[in-house]
């Protein structure tokens, strides 16, 4: 897809979104293709650890090729990840290469724990366009608290190795991002003059010094951006505030236990029990009610107008926040992407979102509990993703 065609498609999608059209005479411009729903970690802000065994698997190459063949020349890019770690699929390299041969841009989001220099070189040579490393913590303590099963030093070394390979190959691609999840309230944007060339977004003020020390690891290496985000709730499956509060209580209990050993077991057991209950399927709606009407309002979701999410087994769902697969749209193994994108279910969802009223989706899970429709937006795009959207779609 050339630049001019892409800009035209963006205009067409924007028009359909603004006027809340129910039928769209175009293909989605972005797909989430879940090459694997398995993961080797058990992370604090991820609900993959709660997936049942029957929901875990890898996408077959034949299914993947069918999807890529259908969207070639129509889709702008594909995210080769969703609920799991993409490098667990043994065919990830040929999958990247196949899409690249077809002119479809590829992106992956990885925890970096399974990487080595051989894999690094193969991914780069296969034509990967963007890689994002999920590295949730600037210090060993914070990282290993958030990323259960990972070792700070090993993951950091793997990322550095990748950047060194990219530098040795003199390759501009893939565009390389380190993404950090932080759950503090004081998030702000600033430039990082000590690391020119690395664009910096939304860093919690209290960790600025830790972040500066962390970035020293990449001095002279082709890291393009570091992004710090607040966690999202996976359509209501994750109760962020409760997790934060309960972890704080757990830490407090440990401190108290040192002074009172006799109550340690009882206190810690109760805190762990409560913390485990922090993962829920419902959350309290943090939205405003339009004064005088009693009707709750929210920002219209953009996903139904531009993307689809394909699980590893070919089932297609409305958006990547639908972690459990509640809003089923079709089967990419038996149906065409174009048909699924304008099927009865997705057209009904566009109609519901078009009203802009919570009473139209209050029986739809995960939409009713999703925090994405409660975040500040500009022209329908969440503000925290606006710069990313502009870079991905207009500035490349």
User: How big is the CA angle at 310 (ends 305 and 312), to the nearest 5 degrees?
Assistant: 170
Average pLDDT over residues 334-355: 96
Please report, in angstroms and rounded to a whole number, the separation of the first and last CA atoms in the chain: 13
pLDDT tens column, 278-337: 333 333 333 344 444 455 667 788 999 999 999 999 999 999 999 999 999 999 999 999
Least confident of 126-130, 131-135, 298-302, 351-355: 298-302
pTM above 0.75, yes or no: yes
Residue 290 is predicted with a pLDDT of: 42
pLDDT tens column, 208-261: 888 889 999 999 999 999 988 777 676 666 675 555 554 444 445 554 544 444
Measured distance CA(281)–CA(328) in Å, rounded: 18
Peptide bond into 313 cis (omega under 30): no
Tokens representing 127 are: 């034509």
Measured distance CA(32)–CA(55) in Å, rounded: 17
Residue 244 is predicted with a pLDDT of: 53
Phi, psi for 307 (deg, rounded to 5) = -145, 165
Instruction: Give the 3-state secondary structure of residue 103.
Output: coil
Measured distance CA(69)–CA(265) in Å, rounded: 58
Return contacts of 184-193, CB within 8 angstroms, 24+ apart.
Answer: 187/228, 187/230, 192/226
316 in Cβ contact with 34 (< 8 Å)? no
283 in Cβ contact with 369 (< 8 Å)? yes
């Amino acid at each position: 897809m050339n630049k001019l065609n892409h800009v035209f498609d963006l205009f067409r999608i924007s028009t359909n979104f603004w006027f809340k059209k129910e039928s769209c005479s175009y293909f989605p411009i972005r797909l989430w293709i879940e090459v694997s729903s398995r993961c080797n970690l058990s992370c604090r802000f991820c609900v993959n650890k709660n997936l049942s065994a029957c929901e875990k698997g890898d996408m077959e190459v034949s299914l993947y090729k069918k999807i890529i063949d259908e969207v070639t020349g129509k889709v702008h890019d594909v995210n080769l990840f969703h609920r799991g770690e993409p490098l667990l699929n043994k065919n990830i390299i040929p999958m990247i290469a196949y899409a690249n041969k077809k002119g479809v841009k590829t992106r992956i989001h990885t925890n970096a724990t399974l990487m080595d220099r051989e894999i690094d070189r193969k991914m780069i040579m296969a034509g990967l366009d963007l890689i994002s490393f999920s590295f949730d913590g600037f210090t060993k303590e914070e990282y290993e608290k958030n990323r259960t099963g990972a070792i700070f030093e090993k993951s950091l070394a793997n990322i550095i190795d990748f950047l060194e390979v990219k530098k040795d190959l003199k390759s501009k691609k893939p565009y390389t991002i380190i993404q950090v999840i932080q759950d503090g309230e004081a998030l702000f944007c600033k430039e990082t003059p000590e690391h020119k060339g690395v664009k910096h977004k939304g860093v919690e003020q209290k960790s600025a010094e830790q972040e500066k020390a962390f970035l020293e690891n990449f001095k002279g290496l082709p890291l393009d951006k570091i992004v710090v985000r607040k966690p999202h709730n996976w359509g209501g499956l994750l109760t962020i505030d409760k997790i934060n509060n309960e972890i704080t209580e757990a830490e407090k209990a440990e401190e108290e236990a040192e002074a009172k050993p006799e109550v340690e077991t009882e206190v810690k057991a109760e805190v762990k029990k409560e913390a485990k209950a922090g993962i829920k399927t419902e959350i309290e709606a943090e939205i405003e009610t339009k004064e005088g009407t009693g009707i709750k309002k929210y920002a219209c979701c953009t996903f139904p107008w531009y993307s689809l999410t394909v699980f590893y087994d070919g089932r297609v769902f409305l958006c990547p926040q639908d972690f459990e697969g509640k809003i089923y749209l079709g089967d990419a193994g038996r149906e065409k992407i174009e048909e699924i994108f304008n099927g009865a279910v997705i057209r009904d969802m566009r109609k519901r979102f078009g009203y802009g009223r919570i009473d139209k989706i209050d029986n739809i899970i995960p939409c009713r509990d999703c925090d994405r429709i409660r975040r500040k937006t500009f022209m329908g795009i969440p503000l925290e993703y606006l710069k990313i959207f502009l870079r991905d779609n207009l500035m490349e």
